[in-house]
Structure formats: structure tokens, C-alpha cells
Amino acid sequence: MNIEALHREYAAGTTTPAQIVEAIFARIASEGVHPVWISLIPKEQVLQRAAALQNQDPTKLPLYGIPFAVKDNIDVANHPTTAGCPAYAFTPTESATVVAKLEAAGAILIGKTNMDQFATGLVGTRSPYGAPSSVFSKDHISGGSSSGSAVAVASGLVAFSLGTDTAGSGRVPAMFNNLIGLKPSRGVLSTHGVVPACRTLDCVSIFTQTAADAAAVLDVASGPDPKDPYSRTPTPGAGASPWAAASTFKFGVPAPSALQFFGDTHNPALYQAAITALKSLGGEPVEFDLAPLLAAAQLLYKGPWVAERYAVISDFIQAHAAEMDPTVAKIINGAASYTAVDYFDSAYKLQHHLRQTEQAWKAFDLILLPTAPRTFTHAEIAESPIERNSQLGFYTNFVNLLDLSAVAVPAGMRPDGLPFGVTLIGKTLAEAALLPLADSLQRKLNQTLGGSKDLLAGTTPLKPATTPTGTLLMAVVGAHLTGQPLNWQLTDRGGKLVRTCRTHPDYKFYALKNTTPPKPGLVRVPGFEGKGIEVEIWALPSDTVGSFVDGVPQPLSIGKLRLEDGTLVMGFLVEPEATQDAFEITNLGGWRNYLATLKK
């Protein structure tokens, strides 16, 4: 089940939202509520919602009739929130901001999904409501803590679901169930109405079968929220991802000696296949030191950040520890021993690791890692619940601490029939840029959607944005071209070459006098019918454009330039007066052709 397919069926009149709801509830009645769900919205209430939608214009509702689920630490008005602990349950009068946004866009909420209690775990087994299994094996865990949310999507009960992610809970279950798991940067999705785990690190996550669906949900659900003090309002240049428009990019991979699979024999080869696939999409692997990221990860559960979990439920755990999952109670109770001194010591360490990773990011645009080293059976988790949970977070625990964005991507099937997954990790606020690449990578490595036999090839690819996140397109014609003396002014600002093309035919081109280094001038002459002038289009981080423009000397200027396809971009122009004593080179079609004539 995916958004595109449902909208196609609604448009064709082959089904209705009410019929979809009836089919979902029939399946749940047949399969049972637990362990995937903790509770359902009453069927009659959901049917009323579906009937009301049929009187609205689908073209004005981007998620018209799309069924979804939310993890049971996310509030739904007048419906219990348990956080996976019955003794903690309360009934909110207001829905979480993200839920309200999704419903306003036409989505239909089916129910609240199972989870590791208080979102403490990556296994999906720490719940009194049962332990969901991977849709591929009843013996293997679903992953957690957003266990039910992942299984509900992978099994086709809903088209998308919301989870939460502090340490990897929106990514590990995605791998174990062959899903896209989008973990946006902190603050992109409001956490107002979400029971915190670590409030300073928590993110609402999105599970879907395709990257296009994740992008559609992100578009609806994101945005600043005055009710959430950790909500973000992006500034110009925030999340700048010039690489997303380029034909080539660089991606970080750890040294082979740093990789850990904890005894698994299948996943190393699948990870190497993912590297090969990303190379075929234009990526160049760059080896980097994983150690600073792993050192930061250690702070999450072996440092005072675990005390945030205690801060959320300190009164409750003191009175109800016996009613909690024993492993969860042990982890959270242990946090009470941390002091303010411990916090500051760890904060200093984290800042050190952050600076180390900032240096590493200068060598690449994104990182490719296994989502999890391996999977486990329910029996294996029961044997060693804390150690093996820790192993699952080997490649995920550092991401929120370092304020990064991530998309977990299905990456093929193992010989034993279980899915493997990798994660694309980007800088802060780069999630929208990661999703089209995730789509392309999924199409290289995977054939089916979730736990179904539906083919990914039957869905529409997600195209990258013409202008990537946080960037501005700039056309250059002379000394700033690749290999020319001022090209460094683009590359030093993080600019990436997007493509080479031509201007609209109505431009004349001149070699200017008395310029150092030599520079050309481009002038639009309405009615002139030439062949267009060769230009390079560069994507620049928006917050660097001001300093770039400030360095442009007279008689040159930056203005709107029309390309051969009619689109407008910023680009170099010249004051017409400067062309009076210049040498016209329009017939040569570009600056490189002119320079070639000088060598003859």
C-alpha cells in the first residue's frame, strides 16, 4: 500500500476511502490487534472520517484518504497515550502537532502502534502488548522502539506511519522490514504532543514503502511550531545540499577495519554492493575515520543523556517501577546516579567529537553506513537484551547527538530471506536532499515494497529538486568556469557544478578590455537571434551568495539570466556601456572557444 497507488485508485473510482478502511479493519479483526497495535481508533469514528472526506476536493488534500498509524507515545486527542506502559496511560485533549497536520491534509488515522516501553530500546520486545516480528520471519525481531509502526506499513495495513527516533528507532525497524525510514533533523517535525525519551534529541520519524511517500509526508508534517521550543525555523542556506543537483558527489565510508557486523556473514557483502550501487549513481567513496562518531555514540547510553529519560518519568518510576518492563526500568533507574558534573564532562566530549566530524565532512557530501550490523531472533534478544540492543545501535546512536539527518534505505535480501538496509546520513536539515538519492539507491538494490510482492518499479521515481535545499543557482560564463582562475570563488563556498548549457538566443557576448584576469560580458538584446552562449550552472549555498555578489567588480553585475529552456537563474551580466570598446565574440558561442582562438 502506498500513497501513489491509493490516489490512482481513488481517481479511477475503483475504490473509496471508506472501502479501504473497511478492508483494514477486517484484516485487523482476522489477525488480531496485538502485537502490532496497542489500540485502534473506533471503527465507526474512522468510517465517519472517511465519509466526510468524500465530500471534499481531493486535489486540495495531498494525503486524501491515506490511512496511517502513529506510535503510542504520540498524542491523539481523546484517545489514550500509553508509551507502551498501561500504568502510565493518560488521555490527551489535543493531538500532537504532526498528527493534526496530517489529518488536515486528508490522512485517516487507524490507530496507535506498539513500541518498546518509553521508547527505550531498538529491539521491539520491551512491551506488555507483545513483541512484533519482522514481516519476513516470525522468529526474528521487528526492531524498535517503533516496532508496530514499521510492521503496520510493511504488512500493508497502512500507507505510512509515524515513529520516534532518539537512538535509531526510526531506522533499525525500517531495515528489518524492508522500508524507507526517514529520520529528519531535530526540530524539523514538531515534538509537541510526543512523550519525550531524550527531549533534546528526540525526532518524529516516518516509515513508508517508498522515498516519494516519505517526501510527501515530510512536506505536510514539517514546519516551525510555536508550541515546541525545540522546533526549527530554517535560516537562508540551512541544510544547503548543492551536491543534490550535481551529476557527481562524494560519500563517506568507514575504513574496512572499523566496520562491525558482530558475527554476521551475509551483511558485509550486501554493504559492499550498496557502495558499488552508489558509485553507479555518480558517487565517489571517500574513506574516513569512524572513531569520532562511535565515541559520540557511547555518550548516549553510557553518559548522562540517559538521565533525560529519567527526568521525563522520575515521579512515575519511583511509584511504578514494578509495573514497568524490567529492562527498561533498569536502564532508566540507572540514570539517576548521574550528576551535573557528569553532564558537563560529557558535553565537553561531545563538542570535541562534533569538531572532529566537522573536519571529516569537508571531504564528502554524505555518509553511507549499514543501518544495523545484523538482526537477531527473539530468543537471542532474550539471552542478552542490553548487549545486543547496544549492538543494533552501532551505526545509529551518534546521529541525533551530532544533529544529522538520515534516511534508512532497503538494500537487498540476504540468502536467508531477511532484508538488509543501509542509511544515507546527511548534514543538518539535508533530509529533503537525501530522499531522491535514497529513491535511486533503493531502485538499484531492491525490487519489492515492504513485505509485499508489489514491485518498486511500478511506482514513480522521486526526482531531485531543481534547486536543492538551501541553495541558489548561479550561471557563470567566464573566469568562474571550471578550470578558470576565479573558479575557486565558487568551490571555496561549497558550490557544486550542476550542468553546462546555453543561454537564450537573445544574448550577445563580449571580451572586455582592461580586466584582470580577463573577463567577458554578457548582454541581453531583445529580438537578437543568436545561438546562445555556453554557461555553467552552479548550486551555491544561499548564505554564501551575498559575499560572492559583493566581490563582483564593475562593470559586471549579477542579475536574472534566461536559459535556452526559458528558465531564469542568477548570472553574470555586464553594463551595456562597457561593451562599446569591447570585442564582440558572440559568434564563438562561449568563453572557452574565445580563449582557444588566443592560443592559435
Cell of 29: 479483526
C-alpha cell at 531: 545561438
149, 169, 190, 390: the catalytic one is 169
Handedness of CA 26, 31, 34, 36 (dihedral sign): negative
Give the distance from CA 267 to its chain's centroid.
Answer: 23
Burial of 112 (0-12, 13-18, 19+ CB in 10 A): buried
SS (H, E, C) 69-103: EEECCECECCECECCCCHHHCECCCCCCHHHHHHH
SS3 232: coil
Q: CA–CA distance from 359 to each of 293, 354, 542 (Å)? A: 12, 9, 21
Question: Active site residue: 145, 146, 155, 405, which one?
Answer: 145
Helix, strand, or coil here: 448?
strand
| SS3 (DSSP) at 66 | coil
Catalytic-residue membership of 145: yes
Distance in angstroms (rounded) separating the CA atoms of residues 174 and 171: 5
Q: With contact defined as beta carbons under 8 Å apart, do 27 and 157 qualify? A: yes
Q: How far apart are CA 507 and CA 521, in angstroms?
A: 10
Burial 353-376 (b: 16+ CB within 10 A, else e): beeebeebeeebbbbbbbbbbbbb
The pairing of beta strand 568-574 with beta strand 556-562: antiparallel
**Local structure of 231: helix, strand or coil:** coil
Which three cell numbers mark 17?
A: 476511502
User: Catalytic: 547?
Assistant: no
Contacts of 142 (CB under 8 A, 6+ apart): 124, 131, 132, 133, 134, 135, 148, 150, 151, 173, 176, 177
The SS3 call for residue 149 is helix
Catalytic residue among 39, 71, 95, 101: 71
Q: How many Å apart are CA 154 and CA 152, to the nearest integer? A: 6
User: Which DSSP symbol is given to 521?
Assistant: E
Q: Which residues does the annotation mark as catalytic?
A: 71, 145, 169
